[in-house]
Structures are given as structure tokens and as C-alpha cells.
Amino acid sequence: MTDHAADLVRERLRWIDGHADVWSLFRDPPTLAAVVKALADPYRAEGVTAVCGVESRGFLLGGAVAVELGAGFVAVRKGGLFPGSKISRSTTPDYRGQRHRLRLQRAALRPDDRVLFVDDWIETGSQATTVRTMVEECGATWLGGSVIVDQLGDPGVRGLVTADELGTGP
Ligand SMILES: O=P(O)(O)OC[C@H]1O[C@H](OP(=O)(O)OP(=O)(O)O)[C@H](O)[C@@H]1O
């Protein structure tokens, strides 16, 4: 499934004005299904209880992978309403040089949770690293990450394709 999903990503990822349009992958039903299964596959035997995703594409993918794994979904928000007590951490500069204040509901994770991080793309790892800090502050176990495009090469993150394979578009 991973190879099939990677082929679909390489074939179907569109570039608009030099920017990768990952949203276009979600619009194609077979690609969306293959990607979600492939993101879940490496972790099916890991006892994942919660999938963590950062808005916005991490919400869509993380929610879908959570359903695939029979796990729950834990949202990490950058803004907006978010009720209850939160853990909040600032990132280092991300791929755009921006720092984000990430928030996670404190009650969403318990020490017996086993957490998978899911996102579409990891470049500097700033957001994923910050989420890991928050997950571990809750006492939960960080299992690693699963992303469509891995531009970082961190051994703790599984990627379907590397950024080098995608080039920079036409
Ligand atoms: O590895 P990093 O340098 O931290 O960058 C990766 C993050 O950046 C992108 O999200 P973005 O901030 O563009 O938000 P969006 O999904 O709302 O467009 C991507 O979806 C990851 O969450």
C-alpha cells in the first residue's frame, strides 16, 4: 500500500505558482484512501490510542488515520476557540520562518496514551517537535510520526515520499 500511495502522490500532486497543492490529493477519492491507509500501516501493531494532528491539513489526515487505526483524535490548534485547560508551547521558526503558539487540551491525553503524530508535510520539524514536547508533558508515549512528504529525514518520522522525489513543480 505504501508504494501504491507514493506512486499516486508523485503522479497527482499539483503545483500552483511554485507551491505544492497538497489539498488536491484529498480531492481524489482513491488517492485519499490510499494515503490514509499508507500513513496508518507502519503503526497498526503499535497500539496507537490517539492520533495528534496540527491544523489545518493535520486535522483532516489525522482524523482519517485515527479512524483507520481505531484510535481517537487529538487536535493541536494554532488559533480559534478551544475550551478548557490547555498546554501551550511556541515553536521554533517553521519552514516559512514563522513561530506558532500551539495549544493542546490538557484533558485530551493521559499517561497511558500511545500517540502517533500525523501531518501532510514535515520540513523543519518545528511543529512536530513542539507537539512531541506537549504530548510528553501529558505523560503520554510518543510513538513517532507519519507524513506524506518527509523533507527532514528524522528516523522517528515515516514519510511516503521525500521532497527530493517531488522536485519543485513545472
Ligand atoms: O516542519 P515544519 O517546518 O514545522 O512545517 C510543517 C508544517 O507546515 C505545514 O502547515 P502550515 O503551517 O502551512 O499550515 P496549514 O496546514 O494550515 O496550511 C504542514 O502542514 C505542517 O503542519
**Atom of ligand 1 minimally distant from the CA of 78:** 17
- Strand pairing category for 50-54 and 72-77: parallel
Which atom of ligand 1 lies closest to the CA of 127? 4
ipTM for the complex? 0.95
Give the sheet arrangement for strand 141-150, strand by strand: 86-90, 101-105, 72-77, 50-54, 114-122, 141-150, 157-162
Where in the chain are the domains? Answer: 1-166
Domain 1-166 has CATH 2.60.40.1180: no
Tens digit of pLDDT at every position of the chain (170 positions): 679 999 999 999 999 998 999 999 999 999 999 999 999 999 999 999 999 999 999 999 999 999 999 999 999 999 999 999 999 999 999 999 999 999 999 999 999 999 999 999 999 999 999 999 999 999 999 999 999 999 999 999 999 999 998 876 55
- 0.80 cut: is pTM over it? yes
